[in-house]
Every structure is written in structure tokens, then in C-alpha cells.
Structure 1
Amino acid sequence: MAGDRDLHFEVVFDLARKKRTQVSELNEYILSAVEAEIIEAYEGGRTNSSESFIVHMEKPENILTSQIVDGRVFFEENPAHKWSAFPMAMDEMGNVWSLPIAHTLIWGMTGSGKSSPLQSAIIQAIPYVEAGEALLFGSDLKETELLPWDYSTLFEDIAFTADDSMELISMLYEKLLERNKMKRAWLNFGGDGQKADLQRRLPATKQTPMMIFVIDELLSLLLELFQRGAEGKAAMATLAKIMALGRAVGFYVIAATQNVKQEFLGAMRDNFVNVVVLRNAATPNMNDMMLGEGSIERGFDPRKIEESTEANNYKTSGIGYVKGETGDPNLVRFAYSDDDYVSSFVLAHPDEQKMATLQSGQLEQMLAAEVNEGDDINEKLDQLSPIERNDFLEALEVFNLSDREDDGNFTLEELNNQ
């Protein structure tokens, strides 16, 4: 635990066949017995057989809002020692939180700090790119978060238009099918003293590097594809196939999107193993859909995160809840990588041809410029006619894992036979 352990410490009670509510009532007794300032339930220490409390002998400082997590320091102290987990944030107890590598959705309103988790994932992937064990691809229709990386050799390709994104999605799917065939050839059922290897999940190696597809403003991309008719809808279906098959063969989508209505993200939620929910103004149902049923009632409420502004020194930027395959949400603050730090990676791996087109200092000016958020995605959605709106919702159903076999869309068996 961070801080002075004599002043801030954890107390754990064995439930001993008692109801959790009975043990929870002990907090007032503990408060008076040790003359503590504050006592609070600690979700992170709770197990099926125990209840955990944090006791504060004096009013604690909120370590998440007390200072920005400096990316330069954080990533030097917490490199990604294994390809399957990227350290990216600090939790309320001062512990490092790592992103399990899988499809990840980053969701929050403008100004909530979506760039921090997005850039953190890229930076932690760089050593694997340098070693030939990862390949980065991107789509950024607003030309903001990924634009500086286009001037480096770290990304294989970044699409800045819907047409280029369609080509990139098609190319990635072809590579996925090739790798799926390779995976079948590597199956080993053991016997004769050999250990079986059923290729359930391919490791990141030079032969099978991680294929990480970073998408900024996912829903904006999908709307642009939808508005391109049959060709665009085909690209949406192909992206859904990549997400359905990708994890087993080392293909991962890390996508960010603005605060949007539940009806548009609902069909896609099950595709993402990890969700990062930053400050938003959505309904409790929307937040529960992202973080798990009843999360708001249990206190995991991103709507209560204070607005981050220049006036308060951006004290809550990059703070949000993270949720993986299991367990309760966890409140963390993502490391912030400033313009100089991002530039250092670009300048260390320059695309000489593209760099030659820049005037002196133009890269720094590009990074320092105010981010152009562009049109709000909700405004674009509101401009759709009722028929277009329904058609778009139907197009998004291609991502709905739960309905896939019933509604006539592709099944995993059909995908594997392609």
C-alpha cells in the first residue's frame, strides 16, 4: 500500500460463515476502537471468504488526483516484461495496473483523457516492435492521436480516411487467415513423450508477431464505413471477423470512442475483453453495460469523476475504471505522455522520407497544437434520418456475438472454414 503503513493500513476479516453485511457493520467498531479518522471498504482486498477495510489514522491524500502520472518516469520504471500484459496505470493503493493484451475499448467524453491509455498501449508495445515481435497498425479519421506516429517507422500503416481504412481492414483479415492456416499446421497432440500444444493462443514471436490495430474514434469510423454503402458494410463485417478470430492468433484491436448512446455500442460490447471507462455523462444502464451489472450501485460510477480543466491543473485527466474478463472494476489513473516524450520515440525511429517533407520544428508544432475534436459523433448520429438510423443499428449487429448464429451472420465454424 502506498504511504505510511502506520497511518494507512488494511484490515481483513474472515467471514467465518457470517453474512458479508454482518462483517461490514464492524467498521464503526473499528473506527472507535483504534480512533481512526476514516475507514472504508476495500473492494480490491475482498475475496469470497473475507471482507477487507482500509483504515486511515489521518485523512488520506488522494494519490490519483494529487499529481499526474508522468509517462516518462512510469514507463522507465515499469517496462512491459511480458507481451501479454502492459503496465499502464496506477490504482488507488499506489499499485501498478497492467492491461491484459486483448481487444480493448476506451470510452469517455471529450476531455476525459482518452489519449493517455491509447498512447500508453503504443509506447509499451514499442520494445516488441523493435524486437520484431509486434506490428502496429492504425486508423485515425480525425488525424489527431496517431498523426505524429505516421512520421515514424514504428507503425506499419496508419489510415486517415475511410477508404484507406477499408483497405487496411481487408489486408489485416487476409493476414489473419494466413496465420490461421499456419496455426493448424503447428498443432501438436503430444504422445511419445512429447508435450501437447493445441495452439490455443499464439505467443508474440518473430514468426508470429502481435498484430495490434489501434483505432481512434471507433464509432466515427464505423459510421463513415456504413455511409459508403455495400462496400463499407462489408468492411464492417470484416472488422467483426477480425475481432471474432483475432485473439487466438495474435490479432488485437485497441479502440477509443467518445461518449455515445447505448444503442450504438451495445452490439459491440461483448467483442471487447477489456474496457476502460473514463469520465462520462451516460445513463447508469450504459455504465453498467460497460462495467458490469450493478456497478453504479456498488460505487463504480465514472459520472462522479470531476471534470478535468486547465484551471484545476487537469487533476482528473486519465482517471477511469478498468474492467477485464473477471472481477470488479478498478479505479486507476493512466500515465500521461507529453508531447516531448511522444516526439522522442518518433525522432528515434523516423520515417526519413516523410520527415523530409516537414519544415524545421513542424513536428513539435503539430504535437503542441490544440487537438481538433472535429464534429461530435452524437451530432452526426442525430443527423441521420430514422431509416438511416435503423439501418446503421442493423449494420452494427454484425458485431453482436450473442445473436450471431440466430440472425444469419457468420459463425465461428464458418470463419474457420474460410
Structure 2
Amino acid sequence: MLDALETLLSGLFGPFIPFLQAAKPYVPFILIGLVALACVVRFGTPYVLGLIRRLTTRTPRSLFKIKRELLAQPDICEMYAPANQYINDRDEGKKGGAQFAWLSPFPRAVRASIKRNPVSRTRKLNARAQVAAAAKCITVRAPHAADNVVGDLEEHYRIDMKLDGHDRKEIENLEGRVKAQLGLRETQRINTADNYTMSIIAHKSDAEDPLVGQKYGSELFKDNPAKTPSALPCAVTQSGNIFTVPMHHTLVFAGTGGGKGSVIHAMILQLLRFWEQDRVKFYGIDPKMSELKAYRETSVFEDVVQDTEEAQELISHVYELMNNRSRSTTIDVEKGDLKRSLDATTETPMVVLVIDELLDLLLSLKNLGKPGAATASQLTGILAKGRSLGIYVVAATQSADKELLGRMRVNFANVIVLRQDSVYLNDMFLGEKAAERGFDSTAIPASNKANGYKYAGIGFSKQETGDPVKVRFAYTSDDDLIEVIKNYPKEDDDLFGGIPSLPEPAEVDKPEQSDATSINLEEDLTGLPDLNDDEEVNA
């Protein structure tokens, strides 16, 4: 029997015996090579499969690694691909069927599924198919330009999660698990045109504001000139779009270094072309003679005053212009024009009263007693009735208070809040719980000379409708203001003497005011704090 077996083996392998004997010294090296090959196959296969998947989906390597981590999260994988849908009975008498996680592009997720879903020997879990199905519902990719995200792609990226027949609330409930699984510092849901997907921006480190890295100068005004005095391109949004300020009564609230001057100068410079056409007139009040000082050297403003007494005269002058215009405006029945609002024309030019340091002015008026209260009432009247007559107030302040502004506050349809320190005032101007909803001006870092005023001009604009919008106003340099002085040199110093007032009809007898429309001279300054020199009033 043995002889027969030996004869058989000799017949089969006889021709190879000389080669085997020659290879005998190399057997150890052959074995090492076989082991190395096995390791390459074992550990290289997931890499090759992942590479193929990355190339076909055009996913950067760093983002593909994040997707692998995400699929290993049990709740996410089980929601999209429940394990019970991938468990089947084995064929009778059939054994084996071991799960090789390394044959999947997502080996860690497959191993996690096998571990959390043990099955009996008579059943089989197809974990690789389960993970592959879940992977189709999740995309990790670079943020879109409209997502307003800047920074390292490994630290800031976007995750799209398909609803796949699930209630949106179910997907939203996974946000915390996503944050924990990936070690994120912050997640932010975003709205997209895809109603079948929930998209979130993931930040592994503090989110970078795209507005910080972009500082805009007066070239913004040259590249985007206002086409009408009622809409002024003055700033840029986080998405890089031009932000237009609608012409209305405007209040700018900013702390020291916040950049309130950027807003004032932006609106003035955009209106200059209409001033050249005699369709806009400017008046200015600046108690500290800071932001408006340069315009005193130009013919752009009818006058810029500093002292309280001069401010009283100027406010009274604008108030009378408004009343004269109101009395002279008649309805044009033939053209169907009810004159509810006046266009800026040479006959009825837009009047813009610019007030810097509104707080200082109001406190100074309070100190004057009844004469000051009368002026405050006139200013309130301009805010209440001026818009429809083409007369607007653009005011800026470093501090504010609900009682201080009184009835004036509700008439400021445009509110622009730059960097300041009070959450209470932030929410008072931008809306209830605005800071909690992400519109937090106190979170904007302070700007100073040491950091090159890095954050100046960044803030939120609140208009008549909608949520606030985060923007950065273009910066107007000293050189820009000097250019204005050179282009429009001063012609006359005296507003009420040398420079003629706006063309208005002669005054007529004033009709008596009804109780419903009369202005209470005392009411407007009721509750104002006592005046303390150079002391800011905060909530």
C-alpha cells in the first residue's frame, strides 16, 4: 500500500523534486514573503477599497476619515439601516460565513455592528451590507461658499444627512450624538434648497468669522454706487454679498472702537452723488465734534454744529422745514398720488439730519429744562412724521437706555448694533433673545489700535422685517475724508445767514393741533438719568 502511494506521489511530483531541493535553503524567506503578502492583503484591502470609494465620490481623505468615524456611531447606523433587516437564516447544514470587516471601506463601523448585534449559529448578519446602506445616506464634504465657513477643512466641514423617510425631528435628535462622536466644539444647522436633507456645519475648533479676514474700504462705494437715495450699498454680508441699507430713520449703537463712524460715513458717501444733483441736503450735530468734524470743512453739509444751543437752532430749523413741507404738500388726484411719501427731487430734496453722540445731546437738552424738553419734542416729531416727508434722522450713540430714548426708539426702523457690552441692550434693539439665537454683538471681540481695529465695523443690522443680518461696513479712511474736503471745499460758514435754506413755500398760519397729535414737551425726557460728565448710561 505504501509502495503504491509512494509510486503515485513520485509520478505526480517527481518532476518538481529537483526544484524543491534547490529551493530548500530559501524556504524561510518564502514563508516570510507569504506572511508579508497576507498582511498586505489584510491591511491593504481596506485602504484600497477606501481609496476607490474616495475617488468615485471625490471626497478628500480627511473628510472620508470623518465619515468612517460617523458610521461607527451605533444610533446613526441603526437608524438608517436597522440590523434586523440584514439578519437572515442560514441554509440548513451550511456552516461558516465569517464576517471579514476588513473587506469593507468602513471596517470600524462593520466591527461595531457585529459586536452590538450578536446572532446565533443558525442566523447570519450581513454587517458589511448594513454599513454600506447607511453610508449612502451620509455625506461629509467641504462647505459650500454660501455656507459662510472659512478655516481648515479638517476643523470646519459640512455634514449632509438624508431624511430617508424619517421625521426631520429624528435626524435633528442625532445632532448631539454627531457632536460627541466627532469631538466637535460646535454644530450649526443650515437651511438649503434640499428639503430631503438636514445639513449641519461642524466646527472642531472655534468657528472663524469670514468677515474678520475681510476689511473693505471706500472702493466698495465706487464699485457699488447707490442707484437711488432710498437704497444705499454700505456693507458686506458673511456670504460676501453687498448689503444695502434702506433709507429710513437709522440708529447706530456701538461701544468704543465698534466702528460707528463706518456706518455714518458710508451713508453720507453713498448719498453724495444725489447731493451733487441737489436732491439731498445734509445737516449735522456732533457734541464731541469727532465723526462729523471733517464735513465742517466742506460744502456738503448745510451746517455742522457742536454746542447745545446751536443744536437747538438746527433741530428747530429742520422741524420747521418739515412742517412747511407738510402744509404745502397736496394730493394729486389726477395722477392718483396721495403724497404718502415724497421722492427726493430738486423741489423736495431728501433732508438727512446726522447726529453723532445722541446720548450726549439728549442729556444736554435735559439739563436745559423746558427749552431742552421743547427741542427733544421737536426731534421726536421729526422721527414720527419726517419719513413720509423725505426727512430722515441718522443717529449714533455709544450707550443707550430704553427710558432715555423714550418714544424715539420705535421710530428708528433701521437699527445697526456693532460691538458693545450689554446683552440686555443687544436684545432690546435686535429682538427678544437675539443673543441666544446667534445675533450677539457682545461676542464680537473688541477693536483697538493694537490689533489694527480688526473687528471694527462688524455688527448686526435689524430692519423692519426679518431677523438681523451680520455684516461688515466699509471703512472710510482719513485720506477718503480729505478727498471729500478737496472735492467739495467749504463755501460759507453760516447756515442761517450765508447758505440759503431749502426752497419751501412761505409759512402759513398753523392749524391748532388736536390732543391726539400734540406733543408733550415733558414726556420725552421723563425718566432720564441725571447728567454726569462723560459718563455712559447703561441698562
Question: Do the aligned partners of residues 52 and 153 (structure 1) sit closer, same or farther apart at CA in structure 2, a change above 3 Å counting?
Answer: farther
Q: Does 2:194 correspond to 1:65?
A: no
Aligned counterpart in structure 2 of residue 180 of structure 1, from 304, 323, 326:
326
Letter of the structure 1 residue corresponding to residue 222 of structure 2? E
Aligned counterpart in structure 2 of residue 243 of structure 1, from 383, 403, 417:
383
Cα contact 2:370–2:522 (8 A) shared by 1 = no
Question: Do the aligned partners of residues 57 and 258 (structure 1) sit closer, same or farther apart at CA in structure 2, a change above 3 Å counting?
Answer: closer
Post-superposition offset of 1:394: 4.8
Letter of the structure 2 residue corresponding to residue 91 of structure 1? T
Post-superposition offset of 1:234: 0.5
CA distance in 2 between counterparts of 1:238 and 1:50 reads: 55
The residue that corresponds to 1:264 in the other structure is 404
The residue that corresponds to 1:309 in the other structure is 448
**Secondary structure at the residue paired with 1:111?**
coil
Letter of the structure 2 residue corresponding to residue 154 of structure 1? V
Q: Does 2:252 correspond to 1:106?
A: yes
Letter of the structure 1 residue corresponding to residue 332 of structure 2? L
Question: Do the aligned partners of residues 136 and 102 (structure 1) sit closer, same or farther apart at CA in structure 2, a change above 3 Å counting?
Answer: same
Q: Which has the higher contact order (CA 8 A, sep 6+)?
A: 1
The residue that corresponds to 1:382 in the other structure is none
The residue that corresponds to 1:134 in the other structure is 280
Q: Which has the larger radius of gyration?
A: 2
Q: Does 2:78 correspond to 1:78?
A: no
Matches within 5 A, 1:203-352: 203-265=343-405, 267-282=407-422, 284-352=423-491
How many aligned residue pairs are there? 348
Cα contact 1:67–1:315 (8 A) shared by 2 = no
**Secondary structure at the residue paired with 2:386?**
helix
Which digits, 9 at most, give the CA deviation of each residue in 1:149-205, with x for residues without a partner? Answer: 01100111111111111111111111111111232x1432x5xxxx52222211111
Post-superposition offset of 1:239: 0.7
Cα contact 1:65–1:316 (8 A) shared by 2 = yes
Cα contact 1:176–1:246 (8 A) shared by 2 = yes
CA distance in 2 between counterparts of 1:186 and 1:142 reads: 42
The residue that corresponds to 2:129 in the other structure is none
**Secondary structure at the residue paired with 1:64?**
coil
Cα contact 1:237–1:398 (8 A) shared by 2 = no
The residue that corresponds to 2:92 in the other structure is none
Aligned counterpart in structure 1 of residue 289 of structure 2, from 143, 155, 169:
143
Q: Which runs of 5+ in 1 are unaligned?
A: 355-391, 400-418
Aligned counterpart in structure 1 of residue 189 of structure 2, from 31, 41, 46:
41
Question: Do the aligned partners of residues 4 and 265 (structure 1) sit closer, same or farther apart at CA in structure 2, a change above 3 Å counting?
Answer: closer
The residue that corresponds to 2:505 in the other structure is none
Aligned counterpart in structure 2 of residue 396 of structure 1, from 515, 525, 531:
525
**Secondary structure at the residue paired with 1:65?**
coil
Post-superposition offset of 1:342: 1.1
Cα contact 1:64–1:333 (8 A) shared by 2 = yes
Question: Do the aligned partners of residues 97 and 128 (structure 1) sit closer, same or farther apart at CA in structure 2, a change above 3 Å counting?
Answer: same
Cα contact 2:299–2:492 (8 A) shared by 1 = no
Post-superposition offset of 1:57: 11
CA distance in 2 between counterparts of 1:88 and 1:324 reads: 14
The residue that corresponds to 1:152 in the other structure is 298
The residue that corresponds to 2:127 in the other structure is none
Question: Do the aligned partners of residues 233 and 25 (structure 1) sit closer, same or farther apart at CA in structure 2, a change above 3 Å counting?
Answer: same
CA-based RMSD of the aligned residues comes to 3.7
Question: Do the aligned partners of residues 10 and 248 (structure 1) sit closer, same or farther apart at CA in structure 2, a change above 3 Å counting?
Answer: farther
CA distance in 1 between counterparts of 2:438 and 2:208 reads: 19
Question: Do the aligned partners of residues 117 and 50 (structure 1) sit closer, same or farther apart at CA in structure 2, a change above 3 Å counting?
Answer: farther
Letter of the structure 2 residue corresponding to residue 66 of structure 1? G
Letter of the structure 1 residue corresponding to residue 288 of structure 2? K
CA distance in 2 between counterparts of 1:161 and 1:95 reads: 40
Matches within 5 A, 1:8-47: 24-25=172-173, 40-42=188-190
Which digits, 9 at most, give the CA deviation of each residue in 1:21-77, with x for residues without a partner? Answer: 556457689999xxx9986334xx589x9998575899986321113211x211111
Which digits, 9 at most, give the CA deviation of each residue in 1:78-122, with x for residues without a partner? Answer: 111122111111111111111110001000111111111011111
CA distance in 2 between counterparts of 1:123 and 1:211 reads: 15
Letter of the structure 1 residue corresponding to residue 189 of structure 2? A
Q: Which runs of 5+ in 2 are unaligned?
A: 1-144, 494-520, 529-539
CA distance in 2 between counterparts of 1:350 and 1:10 reads: 57
Post-superposition offset of 1:12: 12
Question: Do the aligned partners of residues 12 and 198 (structure 1) sit closer, same or farther apart at CA in structure 2, a change above 3 Å counting?
Answer: farther
Letter of the structure 2 residue corresponding to residue 207 of structure 1? E
Q: Does 2:335 correspond to 1:200?
A: no
Letter of the structure 1 residue corresponding to residue 287 of structure 2? L
Question: Do the aligned partners of residues 51 and 279 (structure 1) sit closer, same or farther apart at CA in structure 2, a change above 3 Å counting?
Answer: farther
